[in-house]
Copies of this chain bind each other. A is one copy, B any other.
Amino acid sequence: MSLVRRTIERYVKLTDAEWAVVAPHWQPRDFPRGAFITRTGEVEPWFSIVEQGVQRLFVEHDGSEVCVGFAYDGSWSGVYDSFVTRTPSRFAVQAVTDSRLWSIRREALYGLYDTVPAMDRWGRLILEELLIGRATREIEQLTLDAEARYRNLIRRSPHLLQLVAQKDIASYLRMTPETFSRLRARVR
């Protein structure tokens, strides 16, 4: 069974008839390491599920970049607010490793929302999950200092350290690469 169907069915069950309607709208897209999947200022037409690879989501701000999230196998990837509002994306997405995404276009997904009620529900459940993730992250930023944020990350996502550059993790944790490096040397 396809990755896309399995991923959707983590949230809602689809009959074979429903899947037959949904399936043709998804297509694979491949990106080599370093390629941009979405650039700042472009409208995001895709919503994607990651089959393989790691991507980083970041904001550009006078010359520097601040990482706000990562996506990897089995998670979704994209810029949801640009996708929804059809406005230029304030975030960029870049493949950190060679990546394969399965993607659906906005018009196709919104068509499915109208024709397949289970997909409308899926949209709601995905968003609930995203929103809960954001709330958790906001609380971490508010209540933890640099060291505690670092400890939290290596506890919760130790694999990230192997996959992406330390400077990206550092900016994700809202600190400079120097501070991150010093923490690594100091902690444990």
Contacts and interface: CB of A to CB of B under 8 A. Distances in A.
Contacts of A3: none
Contact-size category for A:
20 to 34
A138 B117 CA distance: 32
A143 interface: yes
B135 A90 contact: yes
Q: Name the prevailing secondary structure of the A interface residues.
A: helix
B61 A142 contact: yes
Given A59-B142, A91-B135, A117-B117, 16 more contacts: A66-B142, A81-B131, A81-B132, A84-B131, A84-B132, A85-B132, A90-B135, A113-B124, A117-B120, A120-B120, A127-B127, A127-B131, A131-B131, A131-B134, A134-B134, A134-B138
